[in-house]
């Protein structure tokens, strides 16, 4: 449980009273209470206000805000304010400023602007965290710590270069080992002194952000940068933990955010929280996958939905409004996938600067008579009525889909075979194949134990880390089903090719040898020709992107290519290995093929869909104490009817018994509580 202090789903969000005169604060509190808000995230961007110079700290305003909220039944998620350094700090200590990819020293401005290896930042950020902890450690309003905000970005300054060299010494020990790992005999890169190593940027190895001559250097710099920011987080974490050991600590993550290895970060977090900002045209399956990824970071523990907009965003090119009902629907989608809080950015809309057109519970008009406020207040009341019923429940899944940041970085740093290969898109294709059939999925990391899963899917497992092939072999030997795709088993963790034939360490598990890899032009396709009917799969399907040219070394050939000079070569194979099977899909198939394949391998393992639903209606489930909470979410703008088959239960929101067919309004939902079936 995130915090036993409040036995319900926390409801609220970011609140920036420092942007307003005090006379507005009383009105804020009145409105928050009307909206059934019980948690406010405060102090996110107040460093300059809290610390006007090196030695002066000013928290009186914050005392007043926190007291006022608490007196009105509102708890705080207390941020440490370190996501934007004060202007005076940048002027006096320029080491706090970042150097960008083009080598330009930044000046004061924007946010998330501090160099993570700046001695100044590393001194003052934990210091203010310490002062906040000292001041508020016994305040009854304090529920959760929120360190900094949306950590991200990358710095190429000299302090970072020096820290990178130390990080490399730690990782490789000797220059000889580093030269071997990076393959520096290529293009005359042999290093004889650690000081010869410079960050990989447009001034050195890169010809563009995603175009590097030395993949291993760029890969290690991505790891180093993620670790550098994590070290900053850790410094603040330690200060807070020292004084408030019982208060959970988080920082808000951003889903499939490329620069940070969130599996590594989550190990240092008490609870995962994240900011969900789909665009109006983001598929709902992508949002579902991101929720599942955030839940997977801590092995299925519930997470906090820290931010979402109640209506519109401001940084998209076109910032559509969430249509009536959609904010509520997407809030429950988060809960269905493991969220134990529903929180917004922000509670009152800013008057100036870049976020003044970002939606808020309280709009510029300043009163409660708006559509957005009404919808927010209704959701708040509904979440209060649910009490703690859903809190701390789990999402059971028998399918695990692997997601690995190192692999993501390595694939997209690769020079060849195609610029169109996007890791997250390929992962999502497989995710969607299960999602569309209401088969729950866990997004898992390389450290996740596989024992609880029947199926493990690893799309584009390009990088195989030490011990992972053995882990997969053990899983399959015991009866598990494993599936991977084209461009897998290619390199080790420093991006050196595993010699002796692709897919390298996965070759005996998959029972195949990949001889060549063909890249298709945009619009170019090949065909998957089924050898025989397999579940719902028969006939032909299209595939594109990359085509591996492979030979079976014992695997059964399920389908062959239909075109080109490799017509007739295997494109889908299945290998019996121990008590299980390992599948290989050698190209990127159309969705209909993946849906059929997912359905078939799930059925083989007797994994049943939660429910059969019309298109655009999602079913997801959480369980607790022998009770299942089935969420049926209608993402269509028309009402839908869903057949519950033999399921009976109670609709928690309508508070009525349900069975047979149920109607779901447009953008509406039901949560049906039932005893665990089977």
Q: Helix and strand tally (H, E) in the chain?
A: 17, 29
Closest contact distance (angstroms) between CB of 160 and Zn ion is 3
Closest contact distance (angstroms) between CB of 94 and Zn ion is 11
By CB under 5 A, tell whether 163 contacts Zn ion. no
Instruction: Tell me how many residues contact Zn ion (CB under 5 A).
Output: 6
Q: Which is nearer to Zn ion, 225 or 494 (CB)?
A: 225
What are the DSSP calls for 139-182, one per residue?
-TTEEEEE-SSS------SHHHHHHHHHHHHHHHSSHHHHHHHH
Token pair of 499 as six digits: 């010699």
Q: Which is nearer to Zn ion, 117 or 251 (CB)?
A: 117
Q: Which is nearer to Zn ion, 115 or 671 (CB)?
A: 115
Which residues in the 117-136 window bind Zn ion by CB under 5 A? 117
By CB under 5 A, tell whether 155 contacts Zn ion. yes
Q: Which is nearer to Zn ion, 31 or 232 (CB)?
A: 232
Which residues in the 49-108 window bind Zn ion by CB under 5 A? none
Q: Which residues of 447-481 are buried (b: 16+ CB within 10 A; e: fewer)?
A: ebebeebbbbbbbbbbbbbeebbebbbebbeeebb
Q: Do the beta carbons of residue 559 and residue 570 sit within 8 Å?
A: yes
**DSSP-derived secondary structure letter, 348:** B
Distance from CA of residue 613 to its chain's centroid?
26
Partner residues linked to 12 by β-bridges: 39, 343
Token pair of 578 as six digits: 């121990």
102 is catalytic: no
Q: Which is nearer to Zn ion, 120 or 251 (CB)?
A: 120
Rounded to whole angstroms, the Cα distance separating 369 from 284 reads 30
Closest contact distance (angstroms) between CB of 179 and Zn ion is 25
Q: Which is nearer to Zn ion, 160 or 585 (CB)?
A: 160
Closest contact distance (angstroms) between CB of 539 and Zn ion is 56
Radius of gyration of the chain (CA): 26
Rounded to whole angstroms, the Cα distance separating 16 from 583 reads 52
618 is catalytic: no
Closest contact distance (angstroms) between CB of 265 and Zn ion is 19
Closest contact distance (angstroms) between CB of 214 and Zn ion is 20
Closest contact distance (angstroms) between CB of 91 and Zn ion is 17
First to last CA, the chain: 27
Q: Do the beta carbons of residue 47 and residue 113 sit within 8 Å?
A: no
Q: Which is nearer to Zn ion, 115 or 617 (CB)?
A: 115
Among 42, 160, 342, 585, binds Zn ion (CB under 5 A): 160
The span of 111-119, 243-251, 610-618, 662-670 binding Zn ion (CB under 5 A) equals 111-119
Q: Do the beta carbons of residue 570 and residue 586 sit within 8 Å?
A: yes
Which residues in the 497-556 window bind Zn ion by CB under 5 A? none
The span of 112-120, 275-283, 431-439, 509-517 binding Zn ion (CB under 5 A) equals 112-120
- Which of 205, 307, 355, 505 is an active site residue? 307
Give the 3-state DSSP-derived string for 214-261, with helices as H, strands as E and coil as C: CHHHHHHHHHHHHHHHHHHHHHHHHHHHHHCCCCCEECEECCCCCCCC
The span of 147-155, 266-274, 356-364, 599-607 binding Zn ion (CB under 5 A) equals 147-155
**DSSP-derived secondary structure letter, 194:** G
By CB under 5 A, tell whether 157 contacts Zn ion. yes
Q: What are phi and psi of 675, to 5 degrees?
A: -65, 150
Using DSSP bridges, classify how beta strands 206-208 and 142-146 pair: parallel, antiparallel or unpaired. Answer: unpaired
The span of 148-156, 353-361, 364-372, 383-391 binding Zn ion (CB under 5 A) equals 148-156
By CB under 5 A, tell whether 240 contacts Zn ion. no
By CB under 5 A, tell whether 115 contacts Zn ion. yes
The catalytic site residues sit at 150, 307
> Given the rule CB under 5 A, which residues bind Zn ion?
115, 117, 155, 157, 159-160
């Amino acid at each position: 449980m995130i915090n036993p202090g409040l036995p319900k789903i926390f409801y609220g969000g970011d609140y920036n009273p420092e942007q307003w005169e005090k006379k507005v604060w009383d009105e804020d509190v009145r409105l928050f209470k009307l909206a059934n808000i019980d948690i406010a995230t405060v102090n996110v961007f107040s460093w300059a206000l809290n610390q006007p110079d090196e030695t002066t700290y000013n928290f009186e305003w914050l005392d007043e805000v926190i007291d006022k909220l608490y007196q009105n039944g509102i708890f705080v998620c207390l941020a440490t304010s370190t996501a934007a350094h004060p202007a005076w700090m940048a002027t006096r200590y320029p080491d706090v400023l970042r150097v960008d990819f083009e080598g330009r020293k930044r000046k004061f401005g924007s946010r998330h602007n501090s160099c993570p290896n700046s001695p100044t930042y590393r001194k003052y950020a934990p210091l203010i965290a310490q002062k906040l902890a000292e001041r508020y450690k016994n305040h009854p309003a304090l529920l959760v710590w929120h360190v900094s905000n949306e950590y991200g970005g990358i710095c190429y300054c000299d302090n970072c270069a020096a820290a990178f060299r130390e990080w490399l010494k730690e990782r490789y020990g000797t220059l000889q080992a580093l030269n071997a790992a990076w393959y520096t005999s290529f293009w005359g890169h042999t290093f004889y002194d650690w000081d010869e190593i410079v960050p990989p940027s447009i001034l050195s190895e890169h010809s563009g952000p995603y175009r590097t001559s030395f993949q291993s250097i760029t890969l290690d710099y991505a790891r180093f940068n993620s670790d550098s920011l994590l070290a900053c987080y850790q410094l603040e974490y330690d200060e807070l933990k020292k004084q408030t050991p019982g208060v959970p600590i988080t920082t808000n993550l951003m889903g499939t955010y490329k620069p940070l290895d969130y599996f590594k970060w989550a190990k240092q977090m008490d609870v995962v929280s994240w900011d969900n900002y789909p665009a109006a045209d983001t598929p709902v399956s992508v949002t579902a996958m991101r929720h599942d990824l955030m839940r997977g970071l801590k092995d299925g523990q519930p997470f906090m939905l820290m931010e979402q907009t109640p209506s519109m965003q401001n940084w998209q090119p076109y910032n559509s409004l969430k249509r009536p009902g959609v904010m509520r629907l997407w809030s429950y989608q988060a809960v269905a996938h493991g969220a134990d809080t529903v929180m917004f950015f922000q509670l009152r809309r800013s008057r100036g600067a870049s976020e003044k057109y970002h939606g808020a519970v309280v709009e510029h008009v300043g009163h409660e008579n708006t559509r957005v406020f009404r919808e927010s207040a209704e959701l708040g009341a509904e979440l209060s009525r649910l009490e703690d019923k859903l809190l701390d429940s789990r999402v059971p899944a028998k399918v695990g889909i692997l997601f690995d940041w190192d692999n993501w970085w390595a694939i997209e740093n690769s020079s060849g075979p195609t610029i169109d290969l996007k890791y997250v898109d390929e992962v999502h294709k497989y995710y969607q194949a299960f999602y569309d059939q209401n088969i729950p999925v866990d997004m898992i990391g390389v450290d996740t134990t596989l024992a609880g899963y029947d199926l493990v899917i690893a799309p584009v497992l390009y990088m195989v880390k030490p011990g992972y092939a053995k882990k997969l072999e053990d899983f399959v030997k015991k009866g598990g089903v494993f599936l991977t795709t084209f461009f897998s088993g290619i390199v080790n963790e420093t991006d050196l090719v595993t010699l002796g034939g692709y897919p390298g360490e996965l070759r005996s598990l998959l029972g195949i040898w990949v001889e060549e890899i063909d890249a298709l032009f945009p619009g170019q396709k090949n065909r998957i020709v089924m050898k025989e009917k397999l579940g719902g799969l028969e006939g032909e399907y299209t595939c594109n992107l990359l085509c591996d040219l492979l030979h079976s070394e014992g695997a059964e050939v399920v389908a062959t290519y239909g075109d080109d000079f490799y017509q007739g070569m295997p494109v889908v194979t299945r290998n019996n290995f121990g008590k299980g099977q390992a599948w290989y899909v050698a190209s990127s198939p159309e969705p209909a093929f993946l849906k059929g394949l997912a359905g078939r391998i799930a059925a083989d393992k007797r994994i049943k869909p939660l429910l059969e639903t019309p298109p655009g209606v999602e079913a997801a489930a959480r369980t607790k104490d022998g009770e299942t909470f089935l969420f049926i979410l209608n993402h269509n703008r028309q009402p839908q009817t869903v057949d519950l088959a033999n399921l009976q239960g109670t609709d928690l929101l309508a508070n009525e018994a349900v069975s047979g067919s149920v109607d779901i309004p447009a953008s509406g939902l039901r949560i049906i509580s039932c005893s665990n079936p089977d």
